[in-house]
Amino acid sequence: MYLPRALSNEFQQSLLSFPALLITGPRQSGKTTFLHHTMGNAAAYVSFDDPMSRDFALSDPNGFLDQYQGDPVILDEIQYVPELLPYIKIRIDRNPEIYGKWLLTGSQQFRLMHQVSESLAGRIAIMELLPFSWIELPPRPIEDLIWQGGYPVPALHRDRLRLWMSSYIQTYLERDVRQLINVHDLRQFELFINLCAAGHGQTLHAATLARETGVSQPTIKSWIGVLEAAYAVRLVPPWFRNYGKRLVKAPKLYFLDAALACALTRQPGGKAALSGAMGGALFEGLIVSEAIKAFTHAGKKPEVYYWRTRDGMEVDLLILIGGTILPVEIKLTATPSLNHVKPLTQLCRSLGDDIRPAGILVCQCRKQTPMSGGHIAMPWQDFPGWLQKEIK
């Protein structure tokens, strides 16, 4: 069963405008399936997971590319043969008017993007395909979204969830990512990942992580950067009018996939996870992740922040669209109250013209409900559709 992806519109437009397209994103997010379904029989296909194809491309790049003179070609996992990119550039420059010819995928952003920017700048459209947003999935309860996440295999095959998640953590996070940054002590790196998962939805304190894992703060920052480049986590900075402060103040850390956070923190199930100590953080992370996916799959850079005052007043999500801030508070409650929207009211007063005069409280209420101060309590199910309209 194939489920349409929200990235399709951006992809189809780029096919008509660029000689090369790169679909990047985490492993197992559906990149290859997306291209196969979208292109059908119109494109040849080669995977550089295959050692023979990889060796051919590396030893005889021109001979390898000569096989694909006519139709478009999908070059899957291009990060294994970045040496091929300059040869693709030469062919593009010979026939710059041929669009949609070279369709690339890559999972390891940290290895790939430097080579792409050097070799194919101005010739390639770069898009990210993240795991499923919940509006791309069949309707399901919030506890199933938390528990199964958005990666295609566990999202569509609940019976394969535990084995798939265990394998993904072992082969990708603990092996591939660790090898890329040359971590020698597996125990330390495993502890680091588990501590990050336990801090899902919380402010990132590198000094604390360094102390608890027994490595230096620069090492922690390096490891965090690699997890972010691998699409495992996302750092959300605090909002300040002063851009410099946003860069130096502590961000909040979220795992982009709730099921991954659940697996790493040994949650027994979706309902138990939501009712347990991490329930609020998991719900908040799910909403933040949906906001990031809405922008990413529309081909736009997500500009998301959080806001916190010195006295502890906080708004979970500030979304910047067209120079205006959309404030969103996130609460795991079915009974929205005045206390839940107080941070929104204070934020709107503080930022004045930079922000919308009223905000959104995303929660488990059954229908959209007006709140004090002009704010609106919104059912979580409505949030992605509402945000899509705002982005457009």
Strands across the sheet with 314-321, in order? 304-308, 314-321, 324-330, 360-363, 376-379, 369-370
The whole-number pLDDT of residue 118 equals 76
Buried b (16+ CB within 10 A) or exposed e, 279-294: bbbbbbbbbbbbbbbb
Pair (162, 255) in one structural domain: yes
Bridge partners of 233, per DSSP, are: 255
Strands (E), 101-200: 102-106, 124-128
Pair (265, 338) in one structural domain: no
9 Rama sector, left if φ>0, alpha if ψ -120 to 50, beta otherwise = alpha
Pair (110, 238) in one structural domain: no
Pick the last residue of a domain from 280, 315, 334. 280
CA separation for the pair 74, 276 (Å, rounded): 45
- The answer to whether 213 touches 191, Cβ cutoff 8 Å, is yes
Pair (336, 378) in one structural domain: yes
DSSP assignment, residue 238? Answer: B
| Backbone angles phi and psi of 367, in degrees to 5 | -150, 160
The whole-number pLDDT of residue 174 equals 65
Pair (174, 65) in one structural domain: no
Pair (260, 141) in one structural domain: yes
CA distances in angstroms from 10 to 3, 38, 138, 150, 299, listed in the order given: 16, 12, 22, 20, 6
Question: Is residue 108 in some structural domain?
Answer: yes
CB-side neighbour CA atoms (13 Å) of 65? 17
77 Rama sector, left if φ>0, alpha if ψ -120 to 50, beta otherwise = left
The token pair at 258 is: 């709730």
CA separation for the pair 98, 391 (Å, rounded): 31
Looking at the structure of the chain, the number of domains it has is 3
**Number of other CB atoms surrounding residue 2 within 10 Å:** 11
CATH of the domain at 245: 1.10.10.10
Cα 235-241-242 angle, rounded to 5 deg:
80
The whole-number pLDDT of residue 111 equals 61
> Is pTM, for the whole model, over 0.85?
yes
- In terms of DSSP bridges, do strands 20-24 and 124-128 run parallel, antiparallel, or are they unpaired? parallel
CATH of the domain at 353: 3.40.1350
The whole-number pLDDT of residue 115 equals 75
Question: Is residue 289 in some structural domain?
Answer: no
360 Rama sector, left if φ>0, alpha if ψ -120 to 50, beta otherwise = beta
CA distances in angstroms from 281 to 146, 201, 267, 285, 308, listed in the order given: 11, 5, 13, 6, 16
Question: Is residue 341 in some structural domain?
Answer: yes
Pair (349, 252) in one structural domain: no
CB-side neighbour CA atoms (13 Å) of 186? 8
Question: Is residue 296 in some structural domain?
Answer: no
Pair (115, 179) in one structural domain: no
Question: Is residue 209 in some structural domain?
Answer: yes
Question: Is residue 295 in some structural domain?
Answer: no
Pick the last residue of a domain from 280, 315, 330. 280
Pick the last residue of a domain from 128, 159, 179. 128
Question: Is residue 292 in some structural domain?
Answer: no
Pair (247, 159) in one structural domain: yes
CA separation for the pair 106, 89 (Å, rounded): 17
Closest CA to 116 of 69, 90, 84: 84
Enumerate residue ranges in the chain where pLDDT < 50: none
Pair (108, 152) in one structural domain: no
Question: Is residue 294 in some structural domain?
Answer: no
DSSP assignment, residue 76? Answer: E
The DSSP code sequence of 338-386 is: HHHHHHHHHHHHHHGGGB-SS-EEEES-SS-EE-GGG-EEEEGGGHHHH
Pair (29, 146) in one structural domain: no
Pair (71, 138) in one structural domain: no
Buried b (16+ CB within 10 A) or exposed e, 28-50: bbbbbebbeebbeeebeebebee
**Number of other CB atoms surrounding residue 243 within 10 Å:** 8
CA separation for the pair 23, 7 (Å, rounded): 10
Angle between helices 217-229 and 109-119 (to 10 degrees): 70
CA distances in angstroms from 240 to 67, 288, 328, 350, 359, listed in the order given: 53, 19, 16, 11, 18
Write out the residue range of the structural domain in which residue 347 sits.
Answer: 304-391
